Amino acid sequence: MIFEDTVVLDAPTPEVWNFLLDVDRSAACVPGVEHVTLVDDRTFDGTIEARVGPISGRFSFRARIIESDPPRELQAAIEGTDSVTKSTLRMDIVLNLEALGATRTALGYRAVVDIDGRLAILGDMILRATAVLILEEFTRRLRTQLAASGTAAERRGGAD
């Protein structure tokens, strides 16, 4: 499955970039993430609880930054295994940031997701619907968090 879109965020590009690289802050925007552990500056492990159709379970995953061109592009690979069905997930994602003036950023993403195992049997429609809901909630949380950090920076006189 391929997911791609561009969302406009009311935050400067460097702020969005720094937010995305802050594992704790960005992981908090992903619904179901239970924990993340930094392995090194390019790798982290985590667990996410997810429900796909009638099946729910926990995916243990490892995410690795493959390439980055700060603050414009980030390529990452994520691999995980579901605790219940032992299904595997692999996602290759590319994030592109483009400044839209001093205070707005276009965040484009393209994710290629492959799922093998019992979850794949559920079919593209159910998997895609679940992924779309997760992406929508991630975007909502990201906007909220960026707005909150922008407000905090304004209270401190613009220094962040």
What are the two backbone dihedrals, phi and then psi, of residue 47, each rounded to the nearest 5 degrees?
-135, 135
For residue 150, is pLDDT > 80?
A: no
Convert the pLDDT of each residue in 8-44 to its tens digit.
Answer: 999 999 999 999 999 999 999 999 999 999 999 999 9
Convert the pLDDT of each residue in 67-91 to its tens digit.
Answer: 999 999 999 999 999 988 899 999 9
Bond into 71 cis (ω within 30): yes
Q: Are 93 and 109 in contact (CB under 8 A)?
A: yes
- Residue tagged 């879109």 (tokens): 5
pLDDT band at 50 (very low <50, low <70, confident <90, very high): confident
Nearest residue to 73 via CA among 41, 31, 105, 28: 105
What are the two backbone dihedrals, phi and then psi, of residue 144, each rounded to the nearest 5 degrees?
-65, -45
d(C-alpha 154, C-alpha 132), whole Å:
33
Nearest residue to 63 via CA among 6, 23, 108, 119: 23
Q: Where are the alpha helices (DSSP H) in 11-159?
A: 13-21, 23-27, 118-121, 124-155
Please give the domain boundaries of the chain with CATH numbers for all domains: 2-153 (3.30.530.20)
For residue 155, is pLDDT > 50?
A: no
Half-sphere exposure of 62 (CA within 13 A, CB side): 6
Starting at the edge strand that comes first in sequence, how are the strands of the sheet with 88-99 ordered?
Answer: 2-9, 105-116, 88-99, 73-82, 55-69, 43-52, 33-40
